[in-house]
Structure 1
Amino acid sequence: MQFFSLYTILAFVSGASLAIQIGMNASLSKGLQNPMIAALSSFLIGTIALVLYILTSKQTIPSTHSLQQLPWWVWMGGLLGALYVTLTIVAAPKIGAAQLVAFVVTGQMLASLILDHYGLVGFEVNTLNAWRVLGAIFLIIGVILIRKF
């Protein structure tokens, strides 16, 4: 797999967008004086944008039968998204963007290593090895440096 591809660029832009979104949501929370209303507002605006995209791009709507065939846990992604947005809204003003993103990325990396190793929630098995562990260690060292300085 090549290091730079359309998908790695999309992942990079996605990560940069998250850092910006965290700041915007924290500012919204401060202005509204309520992190839950800020999180709801964020999801509402995102929902409206997705509905408009689906309607204007003539997306195929899945059948009831295909929806019923899905495992129950696939629907929990939205719940985890709400948890993520709300927790970052609360934490961002207290620890700042760099520390927040460093801890978010560390949590994502450690969870991702476990998900890959065991092939959980739809991922293919990608066995943990020394190189992947070393990469995670370097990431944790980076978090320590960001936190300390």
Structure 2
Amino acid sequence: MKLLVYLVAVLGGAALSMEGAIAGELGKTVGKLESSYYIFIMGTLILGLTTLFAGKGDLPYVLKAPKWNLTGGLLGTVYLTILVISIPFIGIGVSMVAVIVGQMITSMIIEHFGWLGSSKIKINKERVIAIVCMGIALVLIF
């Protein structure tokens, strides 16, 4: 089961690279912010329909949730818009590796301190080596 989750996560990463490339190209034509806006509109429509027919959660809870829980929408918008802007300048590979390095560093800090409801996982030598290797990969791919 764990291997399946890893594979699905890799597919998610592949989808993000494709989305970034597509959004970057669309941004050349319609504008960078307009490209991000279009992608979020389409995502909202598709996810809205999916939630309507297959959702099993408690969407009205959003009104009662702690406000910091709602910042994910802002962060997703920042992430996608940065990709739309950066990909035409530095390419998909460099943009995605830079994003992954940022994700790895931030996720390790969050887990180390147990912030944002995450389990505490201490930073260790292996994790630091992984960050160094990704930093080297970023330099080499650039």
Q: How big is the shift at 1:69?
A: 4.3
Report the number of matched residues.
142
Per the alignment, residue 99 of structure 1 pairs with 94
Per the alignment, residue 19 of structure 1 pairs with 17
Q: Specify every segment of 5 or more residues in structure 2 that has no aligned partner in the other structure, as ranges.
A: none
> What is the CA RMSD across the aligned residues, in angstroms?
1.6
Other structure's SS at 1:70 match: coil
State the one-letter code of the partner of 2:41: L
Other structure's SS at 2:91 match: helix
> Which structure shows the higher helix fraction?
2
Q: How big is the shift at 1:42?
A: 0.3
User: Which of 42, 45, 52 is 1:45 aligned to?
Assistant: 42
User: Which of 18, 32, 38 is 1:35 aligned to?
Assistant: 32
Q: How big is the shift at 1:91?
A: 0.7
Q: Taking every aligned residue pair, what percent have the same amino acid on both sides? A: 28
The TM-score normalised by the length of structure 2 is 0.93
Q: How big is the shift at 1:56?
A: 1.9
Per the alignment, residue 6 of structure 1 pairs with 4
Q: How big is the shift at 1:121?
A: 1.2
For 2:102 and 2:34, the matched residues in 1 are separated by 25
Q: Specify every segment of 5 or more residues in structure 1 that has no aligned partner in the other structure, as ranges.
A: none
The TM-score normalised by the length of structure 1 is 0.89
Distance 1:60 1:111, change over 3 A: closer
State the one-letter code of the partner of 2:99: V
Q: Does 1:79 align with 2:68?
A: no
Structure 1 segments of 4 or more deviating over 4 A? none
Cα-to-partner distance string for 1:108-134 (whole Å, 9 max, x where unaligned): 111111011011112100001111111
